[in-house]
Amino acid sequence: MRARHLHLVTYSECAIQQPRLAVEAPATAPDLYEPVTAEAALNSSCGNLLTTLGLAELHPEHATRISATPAPRISFV
């Protein structure tokens, strides 16, 4: 449950920042910040889960701070 919350908060922040990050991507990795789509989210879900779990373990202080952030409301159009 905690990993899900951490992922929702951090992934939504990345989605909001994606246009700016894509413009600032290094020339050697132009596709580093691909557009956020349902397909991209599903394709990267396992890797994102493992990354979230690993980072929460390595940086518990940041995980605690993120855990206190309200999860975004997701609406499907």
Query: In the 8-state DSSP scheme, what is residue 33?
Result: T
Q: For the chain, 77 residues long, give each residue's pLDDT as a single digit of tens.
A: 888 899 999 988 988 999 999 999 999 998 888 898 989 889 998 998 899 999 999 999 999 999 999 988 776 55
Q: Which of 36, 40, 6 is nearest to 18 (CA)?
A: 36
DSSP state of 72: P
How far is 28 from 73, CA to CA, in rounded Å?
35
Strands (E), 10-64: none
